[in-house]
Amino acid sequence: MPGEFNLIDKYFAHRQANRKDVDLALGDDCALVSPPDGYQIAISTDTVVLGTHFLADADPAAVAYKALMSNISDLAAMGATPAWFSMAISLPEIDEAWLAPFCDAMFELADAHNLQLIGGDTTKGPLSISFTIQGVVPKGQALTRSGAQVGDWVFVSGNLGDSQAGLSVILNPDDASKPHAKELVLRHFYAQSRIKLAERLRHHATSCIDISDGLMSDLKHVLKRSKVSAQLDIASLPITQQATEFYGDKLQAQLAALKSGEEYELCFTVASENKAALNDIADKVGCQLTCIGRIIANAETSLCDITLVRNGVALSDDDPAKQAQGFDHFN
């Protein structure tokens, strides 16, 4: 069994990209980078733990892709361009059959984003991987959660709900026989990168978040930070034919779209005058963008709340769609 330093050499040190702003990567006490003048640095940390975020039989390549993509998605949500990342990995033992495909997938995704591994820590312990990712964004152009204004339109990229369907298949053997089960599992692990979209949204969106906990839950973070409310039209939610067939009917697929976490799509708001420009952006980056609602003023009795309608008509209180909840690790 190779030692820690051999492990770093074998799997990590020789695989790095060569960004010009990385002055020193692996192999010293710290990495050294030279950020460009006039830029801010966006930083995010995410951890995946065996048993909590993935199962022991999960494909290591899929685990690597999903874990790193969730971090890339956080940069996208800020309108930042990926630059550097660090990895802290705990392993109960060195299992080369697991590590090799994990590293291949991680570096393939990183390379596709000109994202360089600059450091990390390898420790003995229960299997978990924690990435800290850094991106750069021109000063003042970051997309935050706090800029949504009354009258802005709420948009979402891609489709929603497929990831949760895939997770159901992973967790429930019975779901494996449902329509499109294999395809939806792949969608769960392999979200599309929204970085190119995010870079173009810098001058158009007033707020942005990525959907990691579920549309309802994540949009509420935007509403709280922006001190506004929102109205969403369930009928306009972008759901796939596959999800509809998997869930058996459209209503269930719409419910999944409201609460499905780990979609890694962007939910963002734009002012009316920028709405038309989104068609052009959608074409250029090859990403479907769907208007799903509008930012409204807070009611006196409910602050930062989401009102659901279907084709413009209010839902009754016993409509299942009203029960949609976000995902919280400790609840």
Which residues ranging from 132 to 151 are in contact with a copy of itself (CB under 8 A)?
Answer: 132, 134-135, 137, 139, 142, 144-146
125 phi-psi bin (left φ>0, alpha ψ -120 to 50, beta other): left
Backbone angles phi, psi at 114, to 5 degrees: 50, 45
Strand order across the 289-296 sheet: 205-210, 266-270, 153-157, 289-296, 229-233, 306-310, 313-314
Task: Looking at residues 190 to 219 of the shown chain, list those that interact with a copy of itself (rule: CB under 8 A).
Answer: 208-210
Residue from 15, 19, 58, 122 binding a copy of itself (CB under 8 A): 122
Q: According to CB under 8 A, which residues from 301 to 330 bind a copy of itself?
A: 328-330
Two structure tokens written together for 224: 């709280």
Question: Which residues from 48-107 bind a copy of itself, rule CB under 8 A?
Answer: 48-53, 74-75, 77-78, 80, 84, 86-88, 90, 94
Least distance in angstroms from the C-beta of 227 to a copy of itself: 14
Pick 22 or 165: Cβ nearer a copy of itself = 22
Contacts with a copy of itself in 6-25 (CB under 8 A)?
7, 23-24
- Interface region with a copy of itself, contact rule CB under 8 A, candidates 27-35, 162-170, 241-249, 309-317: 27-35
- 248-267 in b/e burial notation, b at 16+ Cβ within 10 A? eeeebbbbbbbbbbbbbbbb
Nearest-approach distance from CB 142 to a copy of itself, in angstroms: 6
Element (DSSP H or E) covering residue 108: helix 96-112
Question: DSSP 3-state assignment of 152?
Answer: coil
Token pair of 261, please? 């976490």
CA angle 289, 291, 293 (to 5 degrees): 150
Among the residue ranges 112-120, 174-182, 254-262, 301-309, the one whose residues contact a copy of itself (CB under 8 A): 112-120
- Subset of residues 146 to 185 that bind a copy of itself, contact rule: CB under 8 A: 146
Task: Indicate the SS3 state at residue 30.
Answer: coil
Please say which residue, 130 or 206, places its beta carbon nearer to a copy of itself. Answer: 130
CB of 102 to a copy of itself, least distance (A): 16
Q: Is 181 exposed, middle or buried (0-12, 13-18, 19+ CB in 10 A)?
A: middle
Side-chain-side CA neighbours of 302 within 13 Å: the count stands at 8
Q: How far is the CB of 181 from a copy of itself (least distance, A)?
A: 26
Rg (CA), the chain: 21
Residues shown for the chain: 331
Would you tell me how many other CB atoms lie within 10 Å of the CB of residue 142? 18
- When binding is defined by CB under 8 A, the residue of 42, 61, 185, 278 that contacts a copy of itself is 42
The C-alpha angle 320, 325, 330, rounded to 5 degrees, equals: 145
Determine, following the binding rule CB under 8 A, whether residue 4 of this chain makes contact with a copy of itself.
yes
Identify whether the C-beta of residue 209 lies closer than 8 Å to the C-beta of residue 77: yes
* Number of amino acids touching a copy of itself (CB under 8 A): 71
Minimal distance in Å, beta carbon 160 to a copy of itself? 18
Q: How far is the CB of 117 from a copy of itself (least distance, A)?
A: 11
Residue type, 93: E
Question: What is the spatial distance between Cα 331 and Cα 326, in angstroms, rounded to a whole number?
Answer: 10
From the CB of 210, what's the least distance to a copy of itself, in Å?
6
In the complex, minimum distance from the CB of residue 180 to a copy of itself, in angstroms, rounded to a whole number = 29
Binding residue (CB under 8 A) for a copy of itself from 19, 178, 225, 294: 225
**According to CB under 8 A, which residues from 229 to 288 bind a copy of itself?**
none
- For a copy of itself, the closer of residues 27 and 248 by Cβ is 27
